Chain A
Amino acid sequence: MKKVEAYIRHEAFEPIRMELLSLGFPSLSISEVKGSGRQKGITERYRGAELTNYLRPKVKLECVVADRDVQTIVDTILKHARTGAVGDGKVFVLPVEESYRVRTGESGEEVLQAHPDPAAATT
């Protein structure tokens, strides 16, 4: 099991989510984060005084998948998140020791599988 952790632009998220869903990976989390990197900050002028903000808003996308699926996930993210400009973000792949499904208590790789019928799962 691996965790894919990607820091991406906001506008990249929706295309990634839609493609992952169509590939059978509906389970993921995102958070609004702020970070700094090579991308420059934004300078705000407030009543004549300047304030430079070096932290830019990004989306952090997290997704735990089986080892064999990691490359699919990473490729999907790279495909949609790349604009070619500084500030596209980064993707990290981390090892995961164990996973549990809270509702049933089952553990192991099978909890990562999507419900066979996602529509039924939401009812």
Chain B
Amino acid sequence: MRRSSTVRAAVLGLAALLLLPGAALADTFDAAGKGLPDSVGINSLWVIVAGCFVMFMQAGFAFLEIGFSRGKNAGTVVAKILTNFSIAAILYWAVGFAFAFGGATGHIIGDTGFFLRDFGDPQKAFPIMGLSDATIESKWFFQFVFCAVSLAIVWGTTLERIKFGVYVIYAVIFSALIYPIASGWVFGGGWLQVNVGMQDFAGSTAVHLIGATGALAALLLLGPRRGKYGPDGKARAIPGHNMPLFGLGVLILWLGWFGFNPGSTLGALDGRFTEVLLVTQMAASAGVLGALLTARLKTGQIDIGMAGNGAIGALVAITAPSGYVAPWAGVVIGFIAGIIVPLGVYAIDRKLDDPVGALTAHGLCGVWGTLSCGLFTLPSLAAYNAVGKPGLFYSGSFHQLGAQALGVVTVFAFVFAASYGTFWAIKKTYGLRVSADEEDAGLDISEHGMYGYPEQFIPIPELVGYGAAPHVATPAPQPAGAAAVSTTQEVTA
């Protein structure tokens, strides 16, 4: 039953995708052989390299979530990340990028540049992108991997109990509509950026808060994992099964942020990106120390998970101001984010079951980072980026802080309403949650029919005849060493 309805959802989603690209057949790659200036090559190279770093953050999210899940829910994360990343790519190419960046500045929703072409000059289809001369393909790739990061953040709160088909359905809505519209307002030349002057260099709000808001909407409709809250209503720990994998995930995400923020310059020629990287690193370091110190003072413990979440929270916070502030401000912003992380996790855990702390690290720290622009933005960098005004500490004016707050509230309200509506509709039709039995057995076996760690659940499966299907009762002789690798009886062709 479960299997077939999941498959049906996937097939319907994919069929809808494949109907779209008729308009894209006229596509021609016209950059090659045109004798473009060197700056196009150099800037495109940096944007692509930075985009690859951000793409690698998918591995970071995978390992972070796997580490913080129980062993019976490890494999499902891999399938989810691969599926979501793929759906987002096709939809963001087809419509998402156009909704976010296409059309006149100050837009509510972009209307040109579908399939990256729109039968015209891509530089005209995406006027806001004219600030950098990198090729449109490189800019698309960079923005698409941002969309994929935002989508990955959504699922942090839903681990270990959500139906796989929900990933597919929501990924389509999110990467085609919710993310492009909201992020377009903030850094796609939309009304928040152009008319309000909201500063968000690389997406504390536009990527991280959007993801965390979707995560909150999903969590409110999904409910906690079984056993998270005792009969007395008190929260209980459900420890993740692998802290080293969590640590690997954090470090991969940290690496990815060196593409995320510095790459948002969309160019390399003036060396600005190196300064952005410095600010980013300062914040992350301060975040680890702030989180460790706060957790130590609150619990007396040197908390491994909090050290990692502190790094993530600080990196989220510095994402908006990284292009607007001085390195010392990065230290302050990161350290405060590091304090927010443990306090937020302790407070949220009492009522909401957020297995990886996404609401705190991406939500609260995203809000803090966005607001911090209103405090720390340098006059010279506000002018350089041509967005907004200097922060309170330089101008003495609350103007920019107000612009930042308006942006946060608007984006949160839109994304929450759209996501809650989507998840509510899914809950009423397809269902959000696996059954209690399936949750107890783990999503690996109940949703995917295979374990993430087979040896934990299946004793010595390679024994001849043991539990094997009848037709492999006398298996073909295998090369030495092969039997130990294979976990099942596979018939070699």
Chain A residues within CB distance 8 Å of chain B? 10-11, 34, 41-47, 49-55, 57
Contact = CB atoms under 8 A, between A and B. Distances in A.
Contacts of B490: 46-47, 49
A10 B227 CA distance: 13
Interface string B388-427: 0000000000000000000000000000000000000000
9 contacts: A41-B467, A44-B445, A46-B454, A46-B490, A49-B472, A51-B461, A51-B487, A51-B488, A53-B461
B454 A44 contact: yes
B449 A49 contact: no
Contact of B458 (A11, A47, A53): A53
B459 interface: yes
A41 B451 CA distance: 14
B256 to A, nearest CB: 30
Nearest to A48: B490
Given A11-B440, A43-B449, A46-B450, A54 B491 contact: no
Contacts of B441: 42
A45 B467 contact: no
B469 A54 contact: no
Given A44-B445, A46-B488, A53 B457 contact: yes
Nearest to B490: A49
Contacts of A54: 467
Contacts of B491: 49
B445 A34 contact: no
A57 B458 CA distance: 10
Contact of B467 (A10, A11, A47, A52): A52
Contact of A45 (B440, B450, B461, B489): B450
B468 interface: yes
Contacts of B461: 51, 53
Contacts of A43: 449
B461 to A, nearest CB: 6
Contacts of A11: 440
Nearest to A52: B467
Closest 5 CB pairs of A and B: A46-B488, A45-B449, A51-B488, A53-B458, A49-B488
Q: Select the residue from A10, A11, A50, A55 with max chain B CB neighbours within 10 A.
A: A50
A52 B469 CA distance: 8
Interface in B439-493: 440-441, 445, 449-451, 454, 457-459, 461, 467-469, 472, 487-491
Contacts of A50: 469, 488
In terms of DSSP, what is the predominant structure of the interface of chain B? loop
A51 B467 contact: yes
Contacts of B457: 42, 53, 57
Nearest to B440: A11
A41 B466 CA distance: 13
Contacts, number: 50
A45 to B, nearest CB: 4
Given A11-B440, A53-B458, A53-B459, 14 more contacts: A41-B467, A43-B449, A44-B488, A45-B449, A46-B488, A46-B490, A47-B488, A49-B472, A49-B488, A50-B488, A51-B461, A51-B469, A51-B489, A52-B469
Interface residues of B, number: 20
Contact of A44 (B440, B451, B472): B451
B440 A51 contact: no
A42 B446 CA distance: 10
Contacts of B487: 46, 51
Nearest to A32: B456
Contacts of A10: 440
Nearest to B472: A49
B474 to A, nearest CB: 15
A51 B459 CA distance: 11
A34 B449 contact: no
Contacts of A57: 457
Contacts of B489: 49, 51
* Interface-central residue, B454, B459, B461, B467, by most chain A CB under 10 Å: B467
A55 B489 CA distance: 18
Q: Which of B457, B459, B491: most chain A Cβ within 10 A?
A: B457
A2 B461 CA distance: 37
Given A11-B440, A44-B488, A46-B488, A51 B449 contact: no
Contacts of A44: 445, 449-451, 454, 458, 488
A89 B307 CA distance: 43
A44 B444 CA distance: 10
B466 to A, nearest CB: 9
Contact of A42 (B445, B472, B488): B445
A47 B445 CA distance: 13
Given A34-B459, A45-B450, A53 B469 contact: no
Contacts of B459: 34, 53, 55
